[in-house]
């Protein structure tokens, strides 16, 4: 039987412990904007940067200390091999074995076979939506560079792209997947595409390095795109992160203002070697984006 005095002492100890935890948490988040502690960040890298277009990319990512990998669907040469169930299972097992995650998928072959150019690209995107659903992935990067680079002054090309995305975006909505536009367009021009398509499943995959290269004010663009960014690429030309043009602390401030929480995928240069440079990039980003699920 518990006496009143013993119960009272236990209540006092519990209140003291809760008070200490509260003080610790308050100290931890005292420098963060209101609500920032309710969000999360995870840091991964693109498999094409890790030099492995197969499930062994997860072993490299683990050596670096990353939280996961952005997996490319493959190329025309391997018939977008991640569409095969056995390949998906191999990626699933590699992630499980290493304790990492598939952060997102990328459809990089759209650079060569543009979505607004060749009908086969639409089939690839439909298949990628199904792969994302099967793997439990929420974001698909749609690349628009090289032969498929989008131009704001190409009205016919933009019209074709919008028409295709109007057909495909509802499929993504149904699958619970977001299609991310990655290109050299400004935030304003990307918003024009999203507004014309009119689907919450279409957002921007924001690459701070690409936009800096094009001379855009990335801090203004991030704020302008509030609620319409699905994921970020972290890179800065030929520089290691934190050693070049981009102040990622200010990027974090902009993210906090728009309430972004999610994956940040390193797509940076590695002039001194992949492992040392990506470990340095990761250490730098973790000092700015420390919150995890």
Positive or negative, the CA dihedral 142, 146, 148, 154 is positive
> What are the angstrom distances between the C-alpha of 8 and each of 4, 5, 21?
6, 5, 20
Which whole number is the average pLDDT over 10-28?
Answer: 40
**Which range is least confidently modeled, 101-110, 194-203, 283-292?**
283-292
pTM of the model: 0.87
What domains can you pick out in the chain, each with its CATH number? 35-286 (3.20.20.150)
Q: What distance in Å separates the CA atoms of residue 9 and residue 282, rounded to the nearest whole number?
A: 46
* Buried b / exposed e along 32-56 (16+ C-beta atoms within 10 A): eeeebeeeebbbbbbbebbeebbbe
Kindly state the tokens that stand for 4: 């009143």
Q: At what angle do helices 85-98 and 119-135 cross, to 10 degrees?
A: 40
Interhelix angle for 155-175 vs 119-135, to 10°? 30
Please write the tens of the pLDDT for every residue from 138-157. Answer: 999 999 999 999 999 999 99
Question: Which of 250, 232, 273 lies closest to 43 in space, CA to CA?
Answer: 232
* pLDDT over threshold 80, residue 19: no
Q: Strand, helix or coil at 278?
A: helix
Quick one: tokens of 7? 């119960």
Q: What is the C-alpha R_g of the chain? A: 22
Give how far Cα 67 sits from Cα of 20, 96, 165, Å.
30, 12, 31
Residues in the chain: 293
Confidence label for 292 from pLDDT (cuts 50, 70 and 90): low
The tokens for 35 are: 């609500």
Backbone CA torsion sign across 9, 13, 19, 22 = negative
Q: Are 142 and 182 in contact (CB under 8 A)?
A: yes
Q: What's the pLDDT score for residue 291?
A: 62
Question: What does the pLDDT read at residue 290?
Answer: 84
- Measured distance CA(5)–CA(11) in Å, rounded: 10
At residue 165, the 3 state secondary structure works out as helix
Percent of residues, the chain, with pLDDT higher than 90: 85
């Amino acid at each position: 039987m518990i006496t009143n005095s013993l119960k009272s002492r236990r209540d006092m100890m519990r209140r003291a412990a809760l008070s200490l935890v509260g003080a610790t948490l308050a100290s931890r988040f005292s420098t963060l904007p209101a609500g920032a502690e309710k969000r999360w960040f995870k840091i991964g890298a693109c498999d094409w940067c890790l030099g492995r277009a197969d499930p062994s990319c997860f072993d490299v990512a683990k050596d670096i200390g990353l939280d996961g990998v952005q997996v490319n669907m493959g190329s025309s040469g391997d018939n977008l091999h991640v569409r095969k169930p056995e390949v998906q299972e191999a990626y699933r097992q590699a992630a499980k074995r290493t304790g990492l995650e598939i952060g997102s998928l990328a459809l990089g072959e759209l650079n060569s076979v543009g979505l607004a150019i060749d009908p086969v690209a639409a089939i690839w995107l439909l298949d990628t939506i199904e792969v994302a659903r099967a793997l439990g992935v929420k974001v698909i990067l749609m690349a628009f560079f090289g032969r498929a680079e989008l131009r704001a002054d190409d009205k016919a090309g933009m019209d074709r792209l919008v028409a295709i995305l109007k057909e495909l975006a509802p499929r993504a909505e149904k699958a619970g997947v977001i299609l991310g536009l990655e290109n050299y367009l400004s935030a304003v021009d990307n918003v024009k595409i999203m507004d014309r398509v009119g689907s919450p499943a279409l957002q921007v995959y924001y690459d701070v390095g690409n936009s800096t290269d094009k001379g855009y004010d990335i801090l203004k663009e991030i704020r302008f795109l509030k609620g319409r960014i699905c994921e970020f690429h972290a890179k800065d030309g030929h520089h290691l992160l934190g050693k070049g043009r981009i102040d990622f602390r200010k990027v974090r401030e902009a993210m906090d203002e728009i309430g972004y929480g999610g994956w940040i995928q390193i797509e940076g240069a590695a002039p001194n070697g992949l492992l040392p440079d990506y470990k340095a990039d990761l250490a730098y980003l973790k000092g700015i984006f420390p919150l995890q699920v």
